[in-house]
Amino acid sequence: MRVESEAQLAEAVRDAGGALAVRGGGTRPVGRCLGEPLEVGISGITLYEPGALTLVVGAGTPLAEVEAAIAAEGQRLPFEPANWGPVLGVRGQSTVGGVVAANVSGPRRVQAGACRDSLIGTRFVDGRGQIVKNGGRVMKNVTGYDLVKLMAGSWGTLGVMSEVAFKLLPAAPSQATVVIDLPAGAAQVALAAALGSPFDVSGAGWLPGTGAVVRVEGLAESVAYRAEQLRRLMEPFGPVRVEEEGSAAIWQSLRDLEPFIGKDGDLWRLSVKPSEASDLVARLGGEVLLDWGGGLIWALLPEGSDVRALASPYTGHATCMRGAAGVTFEPEPAPIATLTTALRAQFDPKGILNPGRMS
């Protein structure tokens, strides 16, 4: 079933006889997708004010359409959403609602925050078929509870979003990347030094075949100055070079996990305390890619690897993005599970919205 308006969406949820598998573009098939497919095709930009850095858009709008519209005004989504389709082996067009539902954030997460940090408003239909709005289209808003954050990363399990509003940022006219030739296990220390410097780093990761990478963005003279400062700062860690023309390609490759595209194995995503990265890289084995200064580890491992056991003990959480793990998302500690179970019962009392998707 495909809905193209909020009213149709509310009706579809109210009339549902059983589970609904909520989907946007279907490019993020993580976890179980049970029930009748419900495709959210509510599309189009409702409001765009470049001078106020705000955008309101139908949840089913293709991400590419949104990015093109705001790029025309020299702006961008601060959180640099990744395109997981190719690495997850699916075709289709990612939608903004899907991006929000999965709280997808790219390398700029270290500087500009996650998707949820840029999300300032949403309208959604809860499991009772009620239309609910929260947040708005202004950057600062503390009127009532922040359900906006709750909706981001809820994978369509609490409500089906019809509209989302974002805070935007000016696109940087210039960027450069400092590349340090060192192995993954040694990267985190160098990246922490970069992130602890005053040079406003907007990306810090490790890419197979390239090495540790540190990005700066902004006005041209400022980028040149900061790249040079960082180059000097990174010299003790290994051979260093500054990439200008190739900078954008490096970050697209890291963001979209290009080194892993088309390769067999299970794909895991671990969000951890950065200082644990070196040790985890050694214990996990397999191929890895690091982002967020080592705080995000992508690992490609032999099928059936028990990643949580290999990684244990560790701080944070692990998600099986592709593969046959029994439990896709990190099991919740008991006190948290009590709260989230009760929240789900309030928002979706019939248990029809993407049931089991986050388990």
Partner 1 sequence: MEMPKPKEDLLARKPQIIARLREVLPADAVIDDPSETRAYECDALSAYRCQPLGVVLPRSTAEVAAALKACHELGVPVVPRGAGTSLAGGSMPQADSVVLGLARMNAVLETDYTNRFIRVEAGRTNLSVTGAVESDGWFYAPDPSSQLACAISGNIAMNSGGAHCLKYGVTTNNLLGVTLVTMEGEVVEIGGPYLDAGGLDLLGLICGSEGQLGVVTEATLKILPKPEGARPVLIGFNSNEVAGACVADIIKAGILPVAIEFMDRPCIRATEAFCHAGYPDCEALLIVECEGSEAEIDEQIGMIRQIATRHEPVEFREAQSADEAARIWLGRKSAFGAMGQINDYMCLDGTIPVSELPFVLRRIGELSKDFGLDVANVFHAGDGNMHPLILYNANEPGQQEQCEKLGAEILKLCVEAGGCLTGEHGVGIEKRDLMDVQFEPADLEAQMRVKDVFDPKWLLNPAKVFPLGASASRRAS
Which H, E and C letters describe 293-335, residue by residue? Answer: HHCEEEEEECCCCCHHHHHCCCCEEEEEEECCCCCCCCCCCHH
Q: 41 or 323: whose CB is closer to partner 1?
A: 323
By CB under 8 A, residue 227 contacts partner 1: no
Choose which of 169, 178, 213, 267 interacts with partner 1 (CB under 8 A): 169
By CB under 8 A, residue 330 contacts partner 1: yes
Residue 250 · residue 210 · CB < 8 Å: yes
Between CA 307 and CA 284 the distance in angstroms is 7
Residue 257 · residue 84 · CB < 8 Å: yes
By CB under 8 A, residue 176 contacts partner 1: no
Residue 75 · residue 141 · CB < 8 Å: no
Among the residue ranges 50-58, 242-250, 251-259, 303-311, the one whose residues contact partner 1 (CB under 8 A): 50-58
Site for partner 1 in 187-206 (CB under 8 A): 192, 195-198, 200
Among the residue ranges 28-36, 52-60, 239-247, 299-307, the one whose residues contact partner 1 (CB under 8 A): 52-60
Residue 24 CB, nearest distance to partner 1 (Å)?
Answer: 19
Among the residue ranges 176-184, 218-226, 246-254, 299-307, the one whose residues contact partner 1 (CB under 8 A): 218-226
To 5 degrees, how large is the angle CA 61–CA 64–CA 67? 100
Choose which of 39, 222, 231, 356 interacts with partner 1 (CB under 8 A): 222
Q: 92 or 116: whose CB is closer to partner 1?
A: 116
Residue 255 CB, nearest distance to partner 1 (Å)?
Answer: 15
Mapping DSSP to helix (H, G, I), strand (E, B) and coil, where does residue 345 land? helix
By CB under 8 A, residue 340 contacts partner 1: yes
Q: 93 or 340: whose CB is closer to partner 1?
A: 340
Q: 116 or 350: whose CB is closer to partner 1?
A: 116
By CB under 8 A, residue 54 contacts partner 1: yes
Q: 61 or 202: whose CB is closer to partner 1?
A: 202
Between CA 66 and CA 62 the distance in angstroms is 7
Indicate the angle between helix axes 277-284 and 184-195, nearest 10 degrees.
160
Site for partner 1 in 122-161 (CB under 8 A): 126, 130-134, 136-150, 152-154, 158
Residue 204 · residue 187 · CB < 8 Å: no
Choose which of 218, 251, 268, 357 interacts with partner 1 (CB under 8 A): 218
Residue 91 CB, nearest distance to partner 1 (Å)?
Answer: 27
Q: 36 or 200: whose CB is closer to partner 1?
A: 200
Choose which of 13, 272, 289, 352 interacts with partner 1 (CB under 8 A): 272
Residue 139 CB, nearest distance to partner 1 (Å)?
Answer: 4
To 5 degrees, how large is the angle CA 330–CA 260–CA 285? 60
Question: Binders of partner 1: how many residues, by CB under 8 A?
Answer: 83
Please list, in sequence order, all residues whose beta carbon lies within 8 angstroms of the beta carbon of residue 25, skipping any fewer than 6 positions away. 62, 63, 92, 93, 94, 95, 98
254 to 128, 194, 208, 352: CA distances (angstroms) = 40, 18, 9, 36
Site for partner 1 in 84-113 (CB under 8 A): 103, 105, 109-110, 113
159 to 125, 133, 277: CA distances (angstroms) = 5, 11, 35
String marking each residue 278-317 x if it binds partner 1 according to CB under 8 A: --------------x--xx------------------xxx
Q: Are strands 119-126 and 159-167 parallel, antiparallel or unpaired?
A: antiparallel
Between CA 249 and CA 207 the distance in angstroms is 12
Residue 322 CB, nearest distance to partner 1 (Å)?
Answer: 18
DSSP annotation of 213: E
